[in-house]
């Protein structure tokens, strides 16, 4: 069985030390960022906690498959998180289409936790983020919630660093427009 390692130093000039990566360490290092990412990417119609939990469980189950020769632990994890969010959004669209075709509205279920999160969050920003496309939400969440550089964001979504930088800039422009009262 292969032992996974994580760089424990965040100083770019320092020679990072290598420590074994365990599920506990993975969760301690990334759970909070994964949850914030999921909250941004999920929008109003999906459950961000489910997305975050599914992504972390997938990463933990696949921890033995991580290959440091193919990239950093962080890039590997964020690819899993981004793909899990994409899958959740795809499933939600299919569910909505099926519900529409069956002529039924979505059940009126109030999730008190979602209501509390909305009230605690900056309402206008959260609303504007929810009106962005899933791709824009993903780009902004990877860049600003996960705090990844544009090269890492690009690698996760399949763009060059420069294309990712431009796409993030366009997503920010659309977000600014929506926050100022624009409509999509």
Domain count, the chain: 1
Domain membership of residue 127 (yes or no) is yes
pTM of the model: 0.57
Displacement of CA 116 from its chain's centroid (Å) = 21
93 lies in a domain? yes
Residues ≥6 apart with Cβ < 8 Å to 78: 142, 146, 148, 152, 156
114-130 pLDDT, tens digit per residue, is 544 444 445 677 778 88
Indicate whether 70 belongs to any domain. Answer: yes
Residue 149's CATH number: 1.20.140
Residue 6 clears pLDDT 50, i.e. is over it: no
**pLDDT at residue 10, as a whole number:** 38
The per-residue pLDDT for 11 is 33
The DSSP 8-state label assigned to residue 6 in this structure reads: E
Residue 135: exposure state from Cβ atoms within 10 A (0-12, 13-18, ≥19): middle
Question: Could you read off the pLDDT of 32-71 as tens digits, one per residue?
Answer: 999 888 888 876 656 788 889 999 999 999 998 888 888 8
Task: List phi, psi (to 5°) of 7.
Answer: -80, 125
Q: Are 41 and 51 in contact (CB under 8 A)?
A: yes
């Amino acid at each position: 069985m292969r032992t996974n390692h994580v760089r424990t130093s965040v100083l770019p000039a320092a020679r990072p030390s290598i420590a074994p990566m365990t599920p506990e360490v993975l969760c301690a290092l990334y759970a909070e960022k994964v949850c914030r990412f999921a909250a941004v990417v999920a929008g109003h119609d999906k459950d961000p906690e489910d997305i975050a939990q599914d992504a972390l469980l997938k990463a933990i189950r696949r921890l033995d498959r991580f290959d440091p020769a193919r990239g950093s632990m962080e890039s590997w994890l964020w690819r899993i998180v981004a793909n899990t969010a994409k899958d959740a959004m795809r499933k939600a669209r299919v569910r909505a289409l099926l519900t529409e075709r069956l002529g039924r509205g979505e059940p009126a279920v109030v999730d008190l936790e979602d209501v509390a999160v909305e009230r605690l969050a900056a309402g206008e920003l959260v609303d504007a983020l929810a009106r962005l496309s899933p791709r824009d939400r993903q780009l902004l969440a990877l860049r600003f919630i996960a705090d990844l550089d544009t090269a890492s964001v690009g690698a996760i979504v399949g763009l060059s660093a420069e294309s990712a930088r431009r796409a993030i800039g366009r997503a920010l422009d659309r977000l600014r427009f929506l926050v100022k009262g624009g409509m999509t």
